[in-house]
Structure formats: structure tokens, C-alpha cells
Structure 1
Amino acid sequence: MTFILRILLTAVVVVFLAKFLPGVTVAGYLTAIIVALVLALLNFIVKPVLILLTLPVTILTLGLFLIVINAIIILLVDAFVSGFDVSGFWIALLFSVLLSIFQSLFYSIAEKK
């Protein structure tokens, strides 16, 4: 049940950010749910591999390179899901940072209820 709630909250955040960020577009609510599902899948499968492969750079930058990995994951979601478009790397970086902030806020609110 919490997985479904997290997917739906992520989809809401994706739609919200697409309305306010100029380089991000989402075709509809179903596309946002698909984006949330693909994002969860890529975070589960691809992100650990990328972290392992870039471990020296991540250690050298004191973990800040993880933000770049998040942007790469967003660009991968853009490549896999039609109807979701991110115009470039910097917008993907901003989108991933804002997505992480809003997800943590919404997840903490959802856990309290």
C-alpha cells in the first residue's frame, strides 16, 4: 500500500514540477504515473550500478556527484517514456533536486498519518 501511495505522490510532484519548470512537459496524469513507475524501477536497478561505477568521483566530490546521477536517471526516464520531455541536462538537474525535496516533504507528511 505504501508503494502505491509513494508512486501517486511522485506522480503529483511530477505534474506540479512540469507546470512550473519551463523545460519539463508531461502529457497527462497517466503519463505522470508511468514516469513515477519507471523512475522507481530505474532507481532500484540502474542507480546502484551507476553509484558503484562512479564511486571514486562520488567520494572525491563528497557525494555531490549523486545529484548528477539523479539527473542522468531523469534523462533516462525521458528517453523511455513518451509524453514526458526534459529539455536538457541542467533542467534535469534542477528537476531532480526539486523532485527529491518535494518527495521527502510529502513522504514525511504521509508517514505521520
Structure 2
Amino acid sequence: MGFLLRTLITAVAFWIAEYLIDGISFSGPVVTIIAAIVFGIVNALIRPVLMLLTLPVNLVTLGLFTLVVNAAMLGLTALVMPGMRVDGFWAAFIGAIIVALVSWAASKLIADREVAANR
């Protein structure tokens, strides 16, 4: 259930990013959902290795280089996902920020509801 919920949250975040940024587009809703699954796999497999390799730069920039890594993961997802387009670094950078903010807000909202339901 958690995987499905995270995938739907990421798909909604992609949809919002597509709406707000001219350089990000999807050819349809099914492509958006499949891209969310691919993005989750890319984040699970490649992001940890990339974070380890960029650890010195991340320490020097006090963690801000993580935004560049997130943009790279979004760009990589667009490279392997037919029907998804990200035009350039800045579209990926801003898109990654939007995806992160929407995912964080949705996760926070869900966690708050679970805490309230357990009381």
C-alpha cells in the first residue's frame, strides 16, 4: 500500500510540475504514472550511489548539492521514459524542487492523519 501511495503522490507532483514549468511535459496520464514508478526505481537504485560519490561536494555546500542530484534523477528518468520530456537543467532543477515539496507536503499530511486516527 505504501508503494502505491508514494507512486500516486509522485504522479501528482509530476502533474503539478508539468503545469507550472514549460520545460516539463508528459504525453498522457498513464505516462505520468509510469514515470512516477520509474522515478521511484531510479531514486532507490541510483540516487544512493550518486549521493555517496558527491558526499564531499555535498558537505562543502551544506547539502545544497542534493538539489542538483535530484535534478539529475529527474533528468535521468526523462531519458529512459518515452513520453516524458525535460528541457534542460533548469527545468529539471525547478521540477525536482516542486516534486520534493509536493511529496513532502503530501507525506506530512498523510502522517498527520494517521497520527490523528490512532488517538
TM-score, normalised on structure 1? Answer: 0.95
**Alpha-carbon shift at residue 19 of structure 1 (Å):** 1.8
Cross-structure match for 2:4: 4
Q: Contact (CA 8 Å) 2:17, 2:24: kept in 1 or not?
A: yes
Q: How does 1:36-47 map to 2 (within 5 A)?
A: 36-47=36-47
**Alpha-carbon shift at residue 77 of structure 1 (Å):** 0.4
**Alpha-carbon shift at residue 20 of structure 1 (Å):** 2.0
**Alpha-carbon shift at residue 106 of structure 1 (Å):** 1.0
**Alpha-carbon shift at residue 110 of structure 1 (Å):** 2.2
**Alpha-carbon shift at residue 62 of structure 1 (Å):** 0.8
Where has structure 1 moved over 2 Å in runs of 4 or more? Answer: none
**Alpha-carbon shift at residue 105 of structure 1 (Å):** 0.6
Q: Contact (CA 8 Å) 2:13, 2:98: kept in 1 or not?
A: no
CA distance in 2, matches of 1:11, 1:97: 14
Cross-structure match for 1:74: 74
**Alpha-carbon shift at residue 17 of structure 1 (Å):** 1.6
CA distance in 1, matches of 2:25, 2:107: 23
Q: Deviations over 1:13-56 (max 9, x none)?
A: 21122122111101111111111111111111100100111111
Cross-structure match for 1:60: 60
CA distance in 2, matches of 1:52, 1:13: 26
CA distance in 1, matches of 2:66, 2:53: 12
- The runs of 5 or more residues in structure 2 that have no matched partner are 115-119
Task: Figure out how many residues of one structure are paired with residues of the other and give that number.
Answer: 113
- The runs of 5 or more residues in structure 1 that have no matched partner are none
Q: How does 1:22-33 map to 2 (within 5 A)?
A: 22-33=22-33
**Alpha-carbon shift at residue 3 of structure 1 (Å):** 1.2
Alignment RMSD (CA, Å): 1.0
**Alpha-carbon shift at residue 108 of structure 1 (Å):** 1.5
Which SS does the other structure have where 1:79 is aligned? helix
